[in-house]
Amino acid sequence: MAKLIFLGTAASIPSKDRDNTSFLFLHRKEMFLIDCPGAIHQKLLKAGINFKDIKNIVITHQHPDHFYGIIGLIHAQGYLSKKLAIFSNQTTILLLKELIRKVGLNRYPFPRLTFHDVFKRKFFYSSSSLKLVAVRNKHIRNSFGVKFIFDGKTLLYSSDTALSKTILKEAKEAQYLIHDCTASSSYFKEYPQLYKMHTDAKTLASILKNIPLKKIIPIHFLLLKKGELRKIKKELTPLGKKIYFPSDFSILTLS
């Protein structure tokens, strides 16, 4: 049994009730923080998680809404946590190393930071009960999603992405999918540049309708227009009970 705690569900621009997308994946004694926007420390407190217990972070790409909280978290963990492993692509790793050096956090003895290139091996993390795989998506250079393999089940978090052949192939083999659902189809029509990097609710519903997933979790909502959330939900109705619509601090058990 694994558990997801959603810490944020909005796109790059948060709304009053939703912050930038990030979540915790918990399985037995293992815990991963997936993407790390701002005020993460306080969000963890609200979720009842000790920030010192965050030892593994995955950053899916180098857009600020997915990593800008990590400096604050490392600062808070200074002297209090022993180790922090950061899993990402080379571009993000270099960027983070530079940021850490520029703000002087490299002079702290703790937490001892290790950086892991997710594309270097088949499983970028592997234990007896959990394996993590990076899956290339359709967003920006070297961006990726994460496949979690546990208890004979698979959860795919495709991160920010348009629907691609690779993502669809992986989704067909998974039981659970957390997928980009940035806005409604009418919003995408107004801002067509979004098509290249993100997914609209209508396309998501029509393409995933015939895939035998147990749960589909839309995320990364851009709610700049009045009524946008309602529009998104309406466009997702063809997916019926398979949809789990998360709020910030929602908890979902994957059994």
User: Which residues between 141 and 180 bind Zn ion (CB under 5 A)?
Assistant: 160
Give yes or no for a contact between 84 and 113, defined as CB atoms under 8 angstroms apart: yes
221 DSSP assignment:
B
Q: Of 46-54, 56-64, 187-195, 226-234, which segment contacts Zn ion by CB under 5 A?
A: 56-64
The answer to whether residue 35 forms part of the interface with Zn ion (CB under 5 A) is no
Query: What are the backbone dihedrals phi and psi of residue 234, each rounded to the nearest 5 degrees, phi first?
Result: -65, -45
Q: How far is the CB of 10 from Zn ion (least distance, A)?
A: 9
Contacts with Zn ion: how many residues (CB under 5 A)? 3
Which listed residue (65, 180, 200, 235) binds Zn ion by CB under 5 A? 65
Please choose, out of 48-56, 63-71, 169-177, 201-209, the segment that lies near Zn ion by the rule CB under 5 A: 63-71
User: Minimum distance from CB of 243 to Zn ion (Å)?
Assistant: 21
Nearer to Zn ion, 111 or 246 (CB): 246
Nearer to Zn ion, 2 or 93 (CB): 93
**Smaller CB distance to Zn ion: residue 56 or 142?**
142
Q: How far is CA 92 from the centre of its chain?
A: 15
Length of the chain in terms of residues written: 255
Q: Identify which of residues 105 and 229 has a Cβ nearer to Zn ion in the complex.
A: 229
Q: Which is nearer to Zn ion, 20 or 184 (CB)?
A: 20
Q: Please give the Cα distance from 172 to 214 (Å, whole number).
A: 11
Sign of the torsion angle spanned by Cα atoms 32, 61, 108, 78: negative
Q: In which element (H, E) is residue 234 found?
A: helix 228-235
**Considering only CA atoms, which of 168, 162, 171, 160 is closest in space to residue 220?**
160
State how far the Cα of 54 lies from the Cα of 24, in Å rounded to an integer: 10
Token look-up 């983070």 returns: 96
CB-nearer residue toward Zn ion: 160 or 200: 160
- Work out which of 18, 43, 63, 202 binds Zn ion, going by CB under 5 A: 63
Q: Which stretch binds Zn ion (CB under 5 A): 57-65, 96-104, 165-173, 226-234?
A: 57-65
Tokens found for residue 123: 């499983």
Q: Strands 153-157, 144-150: parallel, antiparallel or unpaired by DSSP?
A: antiparallel
Chain positions 200 to 219 lying near Zn ion, rule: CB under 5 A, are none
Contacting residues toward Zn ion, per CB under 5 A: 63, 65, 160
